[in-house]
């Protein structure tokens, strides 16, 4: 196991801010950070750092065609990535953000981008402190069971990453729902904690 991996306790209020700063600094220097969301633990890197992005794909053993989600601090930040949001996307953001919904949008060049506004103080504080976009994926090897606490992260990938923010088990312990939004339709890419029926009902 990588003896340099740092497990930072976030349940100690006195050291919480300092540990968030340590993780933010790790992101800014190209390191991989594990953090909780409301659903599962995730692995993240600075989305503006191509070397760090490539490293995370390698660590995950994830095909590069399977893009990672970009974490955004609020719905307004989505427009920094997609200039014109389809009305359906805006409606979903208003209804389910912050929360366990990843929204995949089609860009003008037909590439896609997945955006998520998580409902968890740790990742939101990390984004605020680092001031860089965070590309994220679940904390596991590709195709394996995702981690719901810091110890599982260490067991799965502790020899491959740099920092683990430990805030105890995640609240929901179920993956986020992933939808792909077109101009007038929605495709369910991954079934998760938000049921498809609820999404369909909300956009009709």
Mean pLDDT for the stretch of residues 100-111: 94
Q: What's the total number of domains in the chain?
A: 1
Percent of the chain with pLDDT over 90: 89
66 is a domain residue? yes
- Please write down the HEC assignment for all residues of 182-195: CCCCEEEEECCCCC
The DSSP 8-state label assigned to residue 148 in this structure reads S
Q: Which structural domain, as residue segments, surrounds residue 168?
A: 6-203
Does residue 1 carry a pLDDT above 50?
Answer: no
Does residue 2 carry a pLDDT above 70?
Answer: no
Lowest mean pLDDT among 75-79, 102-106, 133-137, 163-167: 75-79
pLDDT for 183 = 87
The token pair at 100 is 């366990």
114 is a domain residue? yes
Give the confidence band of 113 by pLDDT, cuts at 50, 70, 90.
very high
Q: Torsion angle of alpha carbons 69, 74, 79, 82, nearest 10°?
A: 10
73 is a domain residue? yes
Mean pLDDT for the stretch of residues 81-104: 95
119-88-86 Cα angle (round to 5): 105
Claim: this prediction has a pTM higher than 0.85 = yes
Q: Angle of helix 87-96 relative to helix 196-203, nearest 10 degrees? A: 120
pLDDT for 3 = 53
100 is a domain residue? yes
38 is a domain residue? yes
Give me the CATH number covering residue 24: 3.90.870.10
pLDDT for 4 = 74
Summarised one tens digit per residue, pLDDT across range 73-85 is 999 999 999 988 9
1 is a domain residue? no
The 3-state DSSP composition of the chain as helix, strand, coil percent (nearest 5) reads 35, 25, 45
From the list 45, 41, 69, the residue with the least C-alpha distance to 58 is: 45
Measure the CA–CA gap between 49 and 204, rounded to whole angstroms: 39
């Amino acid at each position: 196991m990588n003896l340099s991996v740092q497990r930072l306790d976030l349940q100690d209020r006195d050291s919480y801010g300092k540990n968030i700063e340590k993780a933010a600094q790790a992101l800014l220097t190209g390191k991989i950070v594990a953090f909780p969301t409301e659903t599962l633990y995730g692995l993240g890197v600075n989305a503006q750092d191509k070397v760090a992005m490539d490293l995370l794909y390698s660590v995950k053993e994830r095909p590069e065609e399977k893009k990672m989600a970009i974490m955004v601090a609020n719905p307004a930040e989505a427009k920094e990535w997609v200039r014109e949001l389809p009305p359906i996307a805006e409606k979903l953001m208003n209804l389910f953000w912050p929360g366990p919904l990843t929204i995949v949008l089609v860009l003008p060049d037909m590439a896609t981008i997945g955006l998520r506004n998580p409902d968890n103080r740790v990742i939101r504080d990390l984004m605020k402190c680092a001031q860089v976009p965070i590309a994220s994926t679940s904390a596991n090897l590709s195709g394996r069971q995702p981690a719901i606490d810091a110890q599982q992260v260490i067991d799965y990938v502790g020899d491959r990453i740099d920092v683990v923010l430990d805030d105890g088990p995640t609240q929901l312990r179920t993956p986020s729902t992933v939808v792909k939004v077109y101009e007038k339709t929605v495709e369910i890419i991954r079934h998760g904690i938000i049921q498809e029926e609820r999404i369909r009902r909300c956009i009709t």
